[in-house]
Structure 1
Amino acid sequence: MPGVIVDCAMYRSGARVEGPDDFSDALAEARATGDAFLWLGVHEPTEKEFDHVRREFGLHPLAVEDALTAHQRPKLEVYDDSLFVVLKPVRYDEASDTVTTGELMVFVGDSFVVTVRHGEGPLVAVRHRLEQDPDVLRHGPTAVLYAVSDAVVDHYIEVAAELQADLEELEADVFAPDAPDSKNTAARIYGFKRQVLEFRRATVPLVQPMDRLAAGDVPFVHDHAKPFFRDVADHLTRANEYVEGLDRLLSDALAAHLAQMGVRQNDDMRKISAWAAMAAVPTMVAGIYGMNFEHMPELRQVWGYPAVLTLMAGLCLGLHRTFKHRGWL
């Protein structure tokens, strides 16, 4: 179990204090004093590794199953002895233009917080920041839940801003006069939409849990924390508005790109048709004079051959000027 425990500490009056090395004894001491709590951080535990934590903290088996399995939607569930919250931190890799999501499970109960992390997450930074702010940390497990939620949601807005900047570059490429290959552009837009969809899977389901926390009346969460969770819910609303705007802009960009492709195809067809028409005129004249009838005008005239060539050249030149004037060439 020590290999998966990232950090385990007892906090009293907003400060980190020394406690028993064994978290079972530390939890018992925190509950006995009544003014302390234990924060246990775990990274990708197996069922066997997490079983001791489950028994000591009295965690519900269904919540434990979700915490171990991962791949959960953001949610909030209330059990008899604990509160279970699932968050999905998001990270955007500009080099590969991909959105990756991790998972954070937070158990909040009597004098304890247990955080289970899968993939990337801000827990180390959050713990360090809280330890530097005892006025917040003195509010106990509620403060930890708020700080973790706030860090995850604030990063949503940062990722959305990065996606917005990349989308502006993509739009510039789509509408550029010398736009790149159409198939590649369509693939880029579609790939971008998939990244936005992955982002939405992290942000949209979190609205209901944050609204419940902001409304209060949630076990193991102090009522005085409601304004803070309302602030997190407000930031989450902004993040969702960003994501919805990105999705609409991508749909519009894809529609505009397809329309551009249709216009270009029409231009190509008009050019092909114009050249085919010019090629058809001399072919028709040559075909007429190649029918080999015995009695045909101009066949025995000296000027017949140059006259026919002049006629064909004149007709082709006339067609070329007409098509050029109409913008077909």
Structure 2
Amino acid sequence: MNKIIHWVIAVFLTLTSLSVSAKDLQEVRIGSQPALFSTLPFLVAEEKGWWKDVGLKVTITNFPAGAPQIAASRSWDVGIVGSVPAVLGAARFGLHTIALAEDQSAVNALYVHGPDSDNYIRDPATIKGKTIYLTGNSTGDLAARYCLKKFGLTKDDTTIRSMDQAQIVSAMSSGSVEIGALWAPNTYTVEEKAGAKLLCSGKDAGVLIPGNVVVRAEWGNAHPHRVAAFLAVYLRAQRWLEANRKDALVLMKKYYAAGGVTISEAAMNKEFDRRPTFNLVQQLALFSRGSQPSRVDTIMNIIASFSKEVGSLRADEPLPDPKSYITDKYLKLVNGDPKLKSFADLNGSGKGQ
């Protein structure tokens, strides 16, 4: 009888301990988009149990694109958005950029298709007078403009037609479009299914097109350590993906399929190869100002100017000052906490290494 009583007490104490532990977890609401390389770390963190390891309880809300995501920013605390929505989020909704999710420069690009493809590749300036199909006000649009500049051309030297990504892929596959601006995974689709060839990427043209990690400024100021813990987990998951390609591909296939995206294994490998991410040391270097603007300041000024030019920012909206919305204070919190720093570098303890 005594053994039974002791067993019951032990179980009660264990359950009570677990309950208290769960109650002590701090809530973080994440705004995300499905089937993106930049949001894949969220699945890794969930499956590895890393959110709980740093004391967080997360809920993730997915949005179909950046515009509705930032418009609903009151419903989430931290999130991943494209660089153009990050500018709009700063100007209109008080979103601060706190890290870069990835470098998308190599996966926003001009592609050519058809009998003149090789001629265009040999002498890109020969696209003068041709029609370029692109999705307006997008990172693909930005990459196309910088590629034209690299070729010694302007957008006025070509005819620009706006078309959504699925339509461009379909038109290139059918042969009715020979020059299109695309972003991944659409780039892989036209490579594999249409035989389209890369003419020029944002990377080739020298423009860094990032994905942005953002926080609602008001919430971040009230909960800085939650933001730091979130960043530590996100950076850790990115390092794990880099170090475990085989297992990462399995997770990527599952994650993309859940979001309605099916791509080949070759294309998944290209996602890793063409989308570099940044570790904690690199992030701090990118955000470091000193006596000069930081690299991120410069990048986001380019994005902001583009947003103004294409009308994403209204004529009466001033370009946001980088110092007003770009901050490294949360990265510095991670770096200044030995446990979080070790965790972010994939050295600290976690359930699933």
Task: State the TM-score, normalized to the length of structure 2.
Answer: 0.24
Task: State the TM-score, normalized to the length of structure 1.
Answer: 0.25
Greater RCO, 1 or 2 (C-alpha within 8 Å, sep 6+): 2
Q: Which structure would you say has the larger Rg?
A: 1
